[in-house]
Structure 1
Amino acid sequence: MKVTMTLSRYMARTYVMNMLFLLFALLGVIYLFDTVELIRRASKSDSVPLGLVLQMGLLKLPEVGQILFPFAVLFSAMLTFWQFNRHSELVVLRSSGFSVWQFLMPVVAVALCVGFLQVGVVNPVGSLLVEKYERLEKEYLEKQDSQIALFKEGLWLRQSTDGHILEGEDDVQKGYVILHARKVKPPHWGLSQVSVFYFGQNDAFRMRVDAKSASLEPGRWVFQDVAIHRPGFMKISKPETVLPTTLTIEDIEESFSSAETVAFWALPGHIETLEQTGFDASRLRVYFHSLLSQPLFFVAMVLLAASVSIRPPRMGGGLMLFAVGVFIGFVVFFVSSYLQALGSSNQIPPILAAWSPSIVCFLYGVSAMIHLEDG
């Protein structure tokens, strides 16, 4: 029993060290290229300091890291088993009566724990950092000042006012508006029960516009059946009024489809809110179930790595192993992305799209291990 525990700790420690090495190496390369790209984009503006660019590169790393995690799990497992095989440690273990499952379990346990850690800790923290990155990107690189939020009470939107709303209201032109709609009707973005609050400089309230309905047209919001309320003035009714805007339907839909900015624990509530408001939450459902399947997916990556790494070593085995690993990673990534795209477009159920790669890879890995053990 003591020998088994010592062996398990040794194999788990080796695997963890290899995984950390590969993960940080990949993140370092990605950070370098992302920072260079951010510097290029920031060079078009004089108001973006270098320190902010470096900070934005770091804020973006968790999003990239979650994409790289399966590859790090796969390649580090292949490297670990290849090292054991190269030093004949696996041969010694097999000749000592250890089954393939006994020396596989420590690595599988580490992969399972990493999967739970990635879903429960890394993803929520990463979503906060990515949200901050996107906010800085819009403010400094894309020069967008519009903010959009969706709650159970409806849609909230904030934007600056770049055109005359009412004659003589020059102060409003330099301020901002907050738009609230209780009901939204995609895909053409018809709003109902709309209230628009106009603010001038120094957050001074200027007026409120209530509209029965509104629609987003190129370059403007159009409000129908309007009632205008201004402090110190009587209510003014109009059949229609407009609000200039730079927003497009694509901008608004993209702000809701960015699943990476929503933490794992907040996804169920966010999905419910989207569906109650009338939006299609298929993409978020696929993303949620793909996160749920991550622990099983990581275990499957270890089994796939073992199926090609614990065979007897041959000449040129390292290069061949690397080629096989790249091929497996590419195929799994391509198939997973394709199925998730099908699920997001409602061509297949979201659960099937998210769980199929994990289950298929797991079953294949188990069958390969059984065949290897019997052989």
Structure 2
Amino acid sequence: MRLQRYVLSVTGTRILGAAAVLLGILQVLDLLEVTTDILDRGLGMGGVFYYAALRTPRLIEQVAPISVLAGGLFAFSQLARESAIIAMRAAGISAYRIVAMAAPAAVAMMLLDFTCAQLIAPRTDPILDAWWKAHTPAADRKETGPVSFRVGDDLVVAANSTADGRTLNAVKIYRRDKSGRMVERVEAPSAIYAAKGWSLSRAVTTRFAGERVDTITTTQMSWASALRPVDVQALFSDNPAPSADSAKRALLNGGTDRPPSYYETRLLGAYAGPFGALIMLLLSAPVALANFRSRQGAVLLTVGLAAGLVFLVVDGLLSALGESGAVSPILAVWGAPVIFGALAINALVNLEG
């Protein structure tokens, strides 16, 4: 138990240190781009810290995998240099067990990654977007609409929306039959979301039946839709990043402006992405068995770092192909983790043997 705590302590502190350094670098680079704008808008240093706090969850999501790789390489190389690995193996402890001792640190980073990406960031992103737009000078403001999207079988066009996503302005809803012909058009100055769903004010409904056109005007009209305010915020956002919940709603007839393959890949990736931390730990594990009195240590360090970076590139490339529909979403999401995980385990088995 004491040995396990020692290995976990060495690995955990190195991973935490790598995460802190990488997060600090990304935070500084991010602030370099926006600090001048924040200060010019009269928001002061308080605005800088507010922006940094709201951006932190997304930055943690970015640094989590690479911090496990860097921390694992540092930790295992230190244990190898101090001959701690040799002592443990002489006591009958295999390399697999040593990796298992360090695994809880990677699991903790994996859970932090999932929490930030799926629970915290989806709440902070709309707040940051609304705050930034509210303090943008009138001369620099850009219109985000009109935006076209699909809600179930309906096609919807809206000029713009409020920051909370509860109001759509200048709404047009086009309904089609099974053959794809438009059979009805609903136009309304605004659509407001309340507890009972969407309500269209002063709606004008035009029905098309062959050459016949009927028009009906109603003061208030209910719009049965799976669309939610959070979906509207994402649709009108400059940099939407669908969470697992929003991707699932999109696949269940929520608001979508992309093909189904995009949301399927995002949904699967939300749960598969955090496992990248475990893959990074496996890629760094062979360094523990390296002989640092020869060139083997430096070679394995370089190969481990290169393999981790290539994994990120391949994973990102497959995800992009999956989102576009070029490859299956399952292959896009799990292809890189399975391939690189197998390669890492194979290298560990060969070195152990």
TM-score interval (norm. to shorter): 0.7 to 0.9
Matched, 1:289 2:268: yes
Report if the CA contact (8 A) 2:283-2:308 is conserved. no
Which has the larger Rg? 1
The corresponding residue for 1:123 is: 118
Provide the secondary structure at the position in 1 that maps to 2:309: helix
Q: Does 1:268 align with 2:248?
A: yes
Q: How many pairs are equivalent?
A: 312
Distance 1:320 1:344 in 2: 36
1:135 positional shift: 2.5
Among 25, 28, 42, the alignment partner of 1:29 is 25
Distance 2:248 2:270 in 1: 12
Equivalent residue number for residue 159 of structure 1: 160
- In the superposition, relative to structure 1, how do residues 52 and 278 fare at CA in structure 2: closer, same or farther (>3 Å)? closer
Alpha-carbon distance between aligned partners in 2 of 1:38 and 1:256, rounded to the nearest angstrom? 16
**CA distance 1:76–1:57, change in 2 (3 Å):** same
Partner in structure 2 of residue 218 of structure 1? none
Residue aligning to 2:52: 57
1:128 alignment partner, SS class: helix
Deviating beyond 3 angstroms after TM superposition, the runs of 4 or more aligned structure 1 residues are 40-43, 45-50, 144-161, 179-185, 190-193, 224-231, 251-257, 264-267, 314-326
Looking at structure 2, the residues matched to 160 and 6 of structure 1 have their Cα atoms a distance apart, in angstroms, of 58
Matched position secondary structure for 2:37: helix
In 1, Cα distance between equivalents of 2:172 and 2:352: 63
The worse-fitting range, judged by mean Cα deviation, of 344-353 and 144-153 is 144-153
Assess, with a 3 A threshold, how the Cα gap between structure 1 residues 372 and 58 changes in structure 2: closer, same or farther. Answer: same
Checking the alignment, whether the CA contact within 8 Å between 1:181 and 1:192 is kept in structure 2 is no
Q: What is the distance in 2 between the residues matched to 1:329 and 1:72?
A: 11
Q: 1:110 corresponds to which residue?
A: 105
How far apart are 1:298 and its partner, in Å?
2.1
- Choose which of 324, 335, 342 in structure 1 pairs with 2:321: 342
Distance 1:328 1:134, change over 3 A: farther
- State the alpha-carbon separation in 1 of the partners of residues 279 and 263 from structure 2: 23
Mapping of residues 348-367 of structure 1, within 5 Å: 348-367=327-346
- Which of 178, 182, 189 is the aligned partner of 2:169? 178
Cα deviation for residue 285 of structure 1 reads 1.9
* Alignment of 1:332 onto 2:318: no
Does residue 81 in structure 1 map to residue 76 in structure 2? yes
Q: Distance in 2 between matches of 1:278 and 1:122?
A: 21
| 8 Å CA contact retained: 1:257, 1:283 | no
| Alpha-carbon distance, 1:252 to partner | 8.7
Please tell me whether the aligned partners of residues 192 and 212 of structure 1 are also in contact (alpha carbons under 8 angstroms).
yes
Where does the alignment leave 5 or more consecutive residues of structure 2 unmatched? Answer: 177-181, 192-200, 208-212, 221-232
TM superposition shift of 1:255: 4.0
CA contact (8 A) 1:94 1:100 kept: yes
**TM-score by structure 2 length?**
0.73
Q: 1:27/1:121 Cα in 2 relative to 1: closer, same or farther (>3 Å)?
A: closer
Quick one: distance in 2 between partners of 1:35 and 1:192? 49
Please, what is the CA RMSD of the aligned residues?
Answer: 3.9
Match status 1:46 vs 2:25: no
Q: Report the Cα offset of residue 9 of structure 1.
A: 1.6
Cα distance in 2 for partners of 1:16, 1:130 equals 29
Q: Does 1:258 align with 2:240?
A: yes
Alpha-carbon spacing, 1:69–1:212, altered in 2? closer, same or farther (3 Å)? farther
Q: Secondary structure at the residue paired with 2:52?
A: helix
Q: Secondary structure at the match of 1:347?
A: coil
Residue identity in the other structure for 1:270:
A
Q: Which residue is equivalent to 1:143?
A: 141
- The amino acid that maps onto 1:94 is R
3-state SS, counterpart of residue 273 of structure 1: coil
- Describe the shift of the 1:184–1:296 C-alpha distance in structure 2 as closer, same or farther (beyond 3 A): farther
Query: How far apart, in 2, do the equivalents of 1:339 and 1:160 lie?
Result: 34
Rate the CA distance shift 1:182–1:369 in 2: closer, same or farther, 3 A. Answer: same
SS in 1 for 2:253: helix
- Out of 5, 9, 14, the residue aligned to residue 13 of structure 1 is 9
With structure 1 as the length reference, what TM-score do the two structures score? 0.70
Offset at 1:37?
0.7
**CA shift digits 1:147-194 (9 cap, x unpaired):** 879866965846389xxxxxxxxxxxxxx9724455579xxxx99633
Shift of 1:29: 1.5
Q: Is contact 1:138–1:145 with CA below 8 Å preserved after alignment?
A: no
Secondary structure of the residue aligned to 2:97 is: helix
SS at match of 2:129: helix
Which residue identity does 1:138 align to in structure 2?
K
Range 110-119 or range 332-341, more displaced: 110-119
**In structure 2, C-alpha distance between the alignment counterparts of 1:317 and 1:131, rounded to whole Å:** 49
Could you tell me which of 307, 310, 326 is aligned with 2:289? 310
